[in-house]
Amino acid sequence: MPSIICSKLNTILSDILNKLFKLLVISGLVLYVVYIIFFNNPCSYSSILTNKAGHNNKGPILHKSSSSTTPTNVSHVVFGIAGSTSTWPNRKCYIESWWRPNITRGYVFFETFPNNNDFHPWPHSSPPFRISEDTSKYKAYDKHLFTQAIRMARLILETFNVEKQGVRWYVLADDDTVFFIDNLVDVLGRYDHDKYFYIGMSSECHASNFYHSFEMGFGGAGYALSYPLAKALVNNLDVCIKRYPTLSSICSSTISPSLIAPPRPSTPNISLHDPKRILYRLMEAAKVDESRLLQQTICYHKPKNWTFSISWGYSVQIYEAVVLPSTLQKPLQTFTPWSKSAMPFFMFNTRIPSNNPCETPHVFFFDSLERKRGGDYLITSYSRGRARALPAACSSSGNHSADSISKIIVLSPSTKYHHIGNRRECCNVLHATRRNATELKLRDCFENEILP
């Protein structure tokens, strides 16, 4: 009896499986036909999928949009600058150092109307100002410890509403940020502005990334949004503020792909946040050649076993030993954390300073710049910052002291420095110790040149 029941059950199960198989085959054929008819038509793709195609597992697609054949220039970029009437008198020098009247586009947004003499008359050298909209209607949703958080979050909306014509990129930043305009335009021009792009860098402070987001472009040094992303964000901003009352940065991540950080080796210096005392000297060099600013060049003088590390427009270091590029590309930590309680402190990959004379450089800071020799070269000079206060020389291997050197002169090509696809530059030591000065000439590395 049990065998008969089992036999009938097997028969029934076999019939069910056969029918299910036929159903799956028919369904598959139907779906295939639908795919052939509809999904091979380029007009049938979802607009969201098309816009997000600028980011995939292999990184961003950098080709230009077919709808915009002209290269990106400064007129395509609009700046939204978060300001405050209380800090502006001390910070306007930052903005005026890079702002180009009648060329750059954008606004400074204040929380209240400026009424004192520090603001009247409003200087032509500063961007026009606007007053941020009243955010009291968000009071029930405002869970931020920082009282200006909602106003800052709405900066993109207010900038977008006043500047739309011909805009490809919106750049948002604080009022104590310095931009290098030509470098910024160069980097933004590598991306397709018709797609959804969110470009910036995470914070230098590990704690800020941990508590807020590793996928957030921190506003201090600025971040950029392509026009389509800015438009989508503006249309959904109020919903985001109400839905995410403690973390408004989520708004952009719900609409766009992940934050894109331009690759460091092929990216010029774009901005600096709160540069303070170095501002004047740095901008003096930037006005002549932004493309080379702070770019590192390494060369060696083997007769004395010296290594030179040049940060163009800022400093030159002499090491009394042959130091490998892999070590020099990791900069010395010459700063302290802004918050002693924020541990671990930094996201930077830095070297801890040493008292070993073979590892501690002589440091020379940017002093002046001039054009000479038919205009083919820029000549920058760097003067010793202070005595190294260490033994006279790195005595091992017969190395020589650099204590007598008081000045470094660097000759660099007057042509723009191209970062993409090129090796880091090399240099020749023309004169090691002439009148207590050393002269270096930057050049392209030779094809088979391996340093040191």
384 and 360 both lie in a single domain: yes
Residue 42 has pLDDT above 50, yes or no: no
If you average pLDDT over every residue of the chain, what do you get? 78
Within-domain flag for 158: yes
pLDDT digits (tens, 9 = 90+) for 157-203: 999 999 999 999 999 999 999 999 999 999 999 999 999 898 887 66
Residue 39: the pLDDT is 31
CATH label of the domain that carries residue 418? 2.70.130.10
* Same-domain check for residues 268 and 313: no
Instruction: Identify whether the C-beta of residue 372 lies closer than 8 Å to the C-beta of residue 349.
Output: no
Q: Mean pLDDT, to the nearest integer, of 267-275?
A: 88
Mean pLDDT of 34-42: 30
The CATH code of the domain that includes 270 is 3.90.550.50
Q: Are 336 and 298 found together in one domain?
A: yes
Query: Is residue 161, in this structure, part of any structural domain at all?
Result: yes
Identify the residue with better confidence: 63 or 344.
344
Give me the mean pLDDT over the 317-327 stretch: 92
Q: What local confidence, expressed as pLDDT, does residue 308 receive?
A: 96
- Is residue 23 situated within a structural domain? no
310 pLDDT higher than 90: yes
Question: What does the alpha-carbon distance between residue 73 and residue 330 come to, in Å, rounded to a whole number?
Answer: 33
Pairing verdict, β 77-82 and 105-110? parallel
Residue 341, pLDDT above cutoff 70: no
Task: Give 117 or 129, the one with higher predicted confidence.
Answer: 129
Q: Do 343 and 379 sit in the same domain of this protein?
A: yes
Task: Note whether 111 and 128 are same-domain residues.
Answer: yes
Number of domains the chain is built from: 2
Q: Is the pLDDT of residue 361 over 80?
A: yes
250 shares its domain with 289:
no
Q: Is residue 149 part of a domain?
A: yes
- Per residue in 76-88, pLDDT (tens digit) is 999 999 999 999 9
Q: Tell me the average pLDDT across 277-306.
A: 91
* Of 41-45, 241-245, 306-310, the least confident: 41-45
Q: Is 27 part of any domain?
A: no
The pLDDT value given to residue 343? 62
Region label for 315, one of left (φ > 0), alpha (ψ between -120 and 50) or beta (otherwise): beta
Which tops the pLDDT comparison, 274 or 28? 274
Residues 257 and 303 in one domain: no
**Does a structural domain hold residue 235?**
yes
Domain finish residue from 241, 257, 274: 274
The pLDDT assigned to 441 comes to 95
Number of neighbouring beta carbons within 10 Å of residue 42: 7
Q: Among 316-325, 384-393, 440-449, whose mean pLDDT is lowest? A: 384-393
Q: What is the pLDDT of residue 175?
A: 93
Where a domain ends, among 243, 274, 305? Answer: 274
Question: Could you read off the pLDDT of 193-248 as tens digits, one per residue?
Answer: 999 898 887 666 666 666 665 556 665 688 899 999 999 889 888 888 777 765 55
Has residue 30 been placed in a domain? no
* Domain membership flag for residue 131: yes
Q: What is the pLDDT of residues 135-150, one digit of tens each?
A: 888 877 766 666 677 8
The reply to whether 321 and 356 lie within a common domain is: yes
pLDDT at 211: 63
Looking at residue 20, what is its pLDDT?
42
Among 88-97, 260-269, 383-392, which is the least confidently predicted range?
260-269
Decide: 393 and 401 in contact? Cβ < 8 Å: yes
Tens of pLDDT, residues 430-446 = 887 777 899 999 998 88
**Looking at the structure, do residues 262 and 282 belong to the same domain, yes or no?**
no
Considering the domain architecture, whether residues 157 and 142 belong to the same structural domain is answered as yes
Domain span holding position 386: 278-443
- 254 and 208 within one domain: yes
State pLDDT tens for residues 401-418.
Answer: 898 899 999 999 998 998
